[in-house]
Structure 1
Amino acid sequence: MTAVEAPAVDPVRAARLAELGLSWQPSGQAALRGPLLRLAEECDRAFTTLAQIWQADEERHPASLPAQRLQRVDYLRSFPHQATLAARLAEQEANLDAFLDGPVLREDGTVAVTELAAVTQVLTPAACYHLFNDHLGETFDAPRYLTTRNTCFRNERYYVPLRRLSSFTMREVVCLGTSAEVVDFLEQARAALDAFFELVDLPLEWLTATDPFFRPRANPRYIMQRVEPVKHEATYGGDLAIASINRHHDHFGVNFELTRGEEPAHSGCVAFGIERWLFAITDRHGTDPADWPRLADAAAKVRSGLGGGRV
């Protein structure tokens, strides 16, 4: 990929975000503390409250996935430019001695690696992959609703504090079921999100989108997504997707041997990028925490309005 310069960052805003608890690394990683960390946790509480509209079961997963499992859906061929691989030094003593005899770290800050062990793990690119992998081969006799949060990793051409990161936090809610059950879930989710956005005074526009395929025009999945849109993003300020609704059809069901009754399960998900929510809220409502909306309370109102249980 050719190098692309990151958009300019407002230094006044950057300084205020630092006061609120943002530590930013040029590698595209952010650390949070203080008010911003508390806001991030409230965002997640709000999203888990919304997940309880369907009484979604919470799961927790590790930081990486077996490459062999992820490749069931051709991830590495579709997104090689974004994949972050978990690499380590080959464990042979001679190789480790060679590493220790070298500079270990070069003057430019890069690690002076010697031979690497076989790479078998990919750092989590999206939280929902774990859900499909962890339920490999299962059969469901009713629609299944799951939710999880994970730190996700993606290589990007540039990074912008809170807007575009190399590692970021993603909360997802997934439905596994028949085609009709998934469509019903996604319609309910969009209605719930619209009500939530209104309560927290966050103006968002739903835009049709595609996944960021490598060489998209050579990938039949990209062409299919253009012909039959399956991804819709809730976009703030015209260009920042802070949530998305995705219909997978039976793509994951077939490749992870998930069945609903006797047919491959269909699936769909709702995803939230938590750091992007921090940007949107502080941009819309300002940088005084006293002015920030009570997100968890708003989510509870939405859940209550939809019956407070599985719908």
Structure 2
Amino acid sequence: MNTLSSPAQTTDEGMADSLSRIGLRWNSRGYATLSGPLLALARECDQAFLAIAARWAAEPEHHPVLMPAMDLSPVDYFLSFPHLVTFAAPLNPAAHHLRTFTAAARQDPQAALHHAQLTTPGDVLTPAACYHVYVHHRDRELPAPLKVTTRNTCFRHEEHFAPLRRQWSFQMREIVCVGSREEVSDFLSETRTMVDKLIARLGLPVEWNAATDPFFDPTANPRYLAQKLHPTKHEACYQDLAIASVNMHEDHFGDAYGISRDGRPATSGCVAFGIERWLCALIDRWGTDPGNWPSTFTAVGREVS
């Protein structure tokens, strides 16, 4: 179908109408509202991912969309990804600042926003769902491998946005394993096999490619060079769109957050699914008529688990 195969095509008026009819409302600032058939398909996708998580009896966790900025300091997030971060900063609460702001807003809301005085940022909007898991289990000695699944609204402020493909705000489901290196390696290998079965049953032509994280000034970052030399991130790509990733973190998070297994810093790994990107791939493959969409998504998820 190739309905969403490039960002330029998303501006086509006919395609925009088709996407609107199935439940997509797009804001060009980088976020989407889902309803109707498209929301139903998103739920079906997540049920399939949960079925894979159930294979591991992964414990569900629900985390807030906010996290303290300093909780990302142990992994040098602000050094590696300053271009992606979104801070949550309320208005300066001093009464005279609020009066100045409200007076300006009555005259020109846009100008009021431009000159608003904000508090010093202390929190960030979640950049990836799994960060909360490592913070939540900080300073733990694990008697057995920890397996968790979590979903969150994530935020990455990138250079450009396109509906379902690349968004400032998007939904991410992750399945996380923390344990010994062997335990995590086995988890990632078996989970990737299950993802392959799901992809095959849905008729999505996908290739797995070695990838790196989107570092700021990558050639100056030793972690980027390490990932190039010893790939620890592999993405399932539908055309040029990564819809899932398998990530081996080694002991990066275990050491940073004091999580140990058998007396050593724990290894961690995760499998991540960008829900909107799965919608994009499925629509591109099967079109915008819900009658043509795969009708056994949840059943397929149970089968591959």
TM range (shorter): over 0.9
Q: How many residues align?
A: 297
Deviates more, 1:12-21 or 1:261-270: 12-21
- By how many angstroms is 1:101 displaced? 2.6
Conservation of the 8 A alpha-carbon contact between 2:104 and 2:111: no
| TM-score (norm. length: structure 2) | 0.94
Q: Determine the structure 1 residue equivalent to 2:83.
A: 81
Q: Which letter maps to 1:27?
A: R
Question: Partners in 1 of 2:179 and 2:107 — Cα distance?
Answer: 50
Q: Determine the structure 2 residue equivalent to 1:27.
A: 29
Q: Determine the structure 1 residue equivalent to 2:92.
A: 90
Deviates more, 1:22-31 or 1:284-293: 284-293
Q: Among the aligned pairs, what percent are the same residue?
A: 48
Q: Determine the structure 1 residue equivalent to 2:243.
A: 242
Conservation of the 8 A alpha-carbon contact between 1:89 and 1:113: no
Determine helix, strand or coil for the equivalent of 2:8.
Answer: coil
Determine helix, strand or coil for the equivalent of 1:115.
Answer: coil
Q: Which letter maps to 2:272?
A: A
CA gap 1:275/1:110 in 2 versus in 1, 3 angstroms: farther
Question: Partners in 2 of 1:104 and 1:111 — Cα distance?
Answer: 11
Q: Determine the structure 1 residue equivalent to 2:3.
A: none
Alignment partner of 1:136 is 2:135? no
| TM-score (norm. length: structure 1) | 0.92
Question: Partners in 1 of 2:95 and 2:111 — Cα distance?
Answer: 24
- By how many angstroms is 1:12 displaced? 2.3
CA gap 1:253/1:288 in 2 versus in 1, 3 angstroms: same
State the Cα deviation string for residues 113-142 of structure 1 (Å, max 9, x = none).
433212100100000001111111111111
- By how many angstroms is 1:104 displaced? 6.2
Q: Determine the structure 1 residue equivalent to 2:113.
A: 111
> Unaligned 5+ residue runs, structure 2?
1-6
Question: Partners in 1 of 2:105 and 2:147 — Cα distance?
Answer: 51
Question: Partners in 2 of 1:201 and 1:112 — Cα distance?
Answer: 47
Deviates more, 1:193-202 or 1:269-278: 193-202
Q: Determine the structure 2 residue equivalent to 1:167.
A: 169
Determine helix, strand or coil for the equivalent of 1:90.
Answer: coil
CA gap 1:258/1:286 in 2 versus in 1, 3 angstroms: same
Conservation of the 8 A alpha-carbon contact between 2:45 and 2:298: yes
- By how many angstroms is 1:184 displaced? 0.5
Q: Determine the structure 2 residue equivalent to 1:309.
A: none
Conservation of the 8 A alpha-carbon contact between 1:99 and 1:112: no
Conservation of the 8 A alpha-carbon contact between 1:106 and 1:112: no
Q: Determine the structure 1 residue equivalent to 2:257.
A: 256
Q: Which letter maps to 1:278?
A: L
Q: Determine the structure 1 residue equivalent to 2:64.
A: 62
Determine helix, strand or coil for the equivalent of 2:162.
Answer: coil
Question: Partners in 2 of 1:163 and 1:78 — Cα distance?
Answer: 23
Q: Determine the structure 2 residue equivalent to 1:49.
A: 51
Question: Partners in 1 of 2:135 and 2:190 — Cα distance?
Answer: 25
Question: Partners in 2 of 1:198 and 1:105 — Cα distance?
Answer: 57
Q: Which letter maps to 1:64?
A: L
Runs of 4+ in 1 over 3 A off after TM superposition: 103-110
- By how many angstroms is 1:14 displaced? 2.1
Q: Determine the structure 2 residue equivalent to 1:286.
A: 287
Question: Partners in 1 of 2:26 and 2:101 — Cα distance?
Answer: 30
CA gap 1:231/1:106 in 2 versus in 1, 3 angstroms: farther
